[in-house]
Amino acid sequence: MDYLLEGLNQGNLIITSVVMLVLVIASTKARFLDTAGVAAAVFVGLLVGLLGHWTWLLILLAFLVFSHFATKWKFEEKKARNMSESDDGHRGWINVLANGGIPALIATGAFLTEEWEYGLWMFGAAVSVAAADTFASEFGCLDDNVRMITTLKKCEPGINGGFSKTGQIAALSGALIIGLMTFSAWYVTNLDETISNGLSLMAAVISIGWIGCQIDSFLGAWFENRGYLTKGGVNALAITSGMLIMFAWLNT
């Protein structure tokens, strides 16, 4: 039984099942997600773990856990300023699919093409964008020195397209966490590869995460504020951009 092989195999099935069980129990007790959110997370998680690899699932799990901590940071102040995700900070199925749908599709594509190494880095880039955007929103919304990304004029905190110094640092921190997780997943399953190659791609994941956050802000300013896109739609497009940038990077 080889736990380091990607795709459908016994080792991957066992570890993925254990991780998903832990996720369901933790989400129920800590209220990371509501009931529909848990169901969506199980669906996405099984696709990611079984068609990709359990290490990919750990990347997604890290995103969920750290995002929850970011959401809970100064939560009462966010709630008082009407900037909280929900009354108690939990997230629903729409948020899960907006942030996890594209990574699940990447895992499916990697399984069908058997290009798991390419798939891992594209997966990492996609999740990096999601983490960078979430961190920027959750930590940056309480910074009162906010400017609109399209005009650089001062604007209200929490508005779509607004950016701040705190938000930018937070976005880079979120991307860094996912970059490190992606490198770890790559190292575990590619022990015979040159580390320098993995480090350069990790740097790409971090950079793309931060860039994707800026793309999210532009999309929010141009389209969400005008009612052409929902928050979930903006997130999905920004995450897709991260995947595509990494795809181009890998093929240069």
Give the tens place of pLDDT for each residue, 130-146: 999 999 999 988 888 99
Q: Provide the H-helix boundaries in 114-230.
A: 116-140, 165-189, 195-219
**Angle in degrees, CA 121, 123, 125, rounded to 5:** 70
DSSP β-bridge partners for residue 163: 147
Check if the beta carbon of residue 150 is closer than 8 Å to that of residue 85. no
Find the farthest-apart pair of alpha carbons in the chain and give their distance in angstroms, rounded.
58
The single residue listed with the structure tokens 């920027």 is 136
**Residues 6 or more apart in contact with residue 30 via CB below 8 angstroms:** 68
Examine the pLDDT at 85 and tell me if it is beyond 70: no
**Angle in degrees, CA 63, 205, 167, rounded to 5:** 60
Helix axes 54-72, 10-30, angle to 10 degrees: 10
Examine the pLDDT at 90 and tell me if it is beyond 80: no
pLDDT class for 118, splitting at 50, 70, 90?
Answer: very high
* Residue (of 39, 32, 34, 59) closest to 48 by Cα position: 59
φ/ψ (deg, to 5) at 32: -60, -40
Percent above pLDDT 70 for the chain: 96
Q: What is the DSSP letter of 193?
A: S
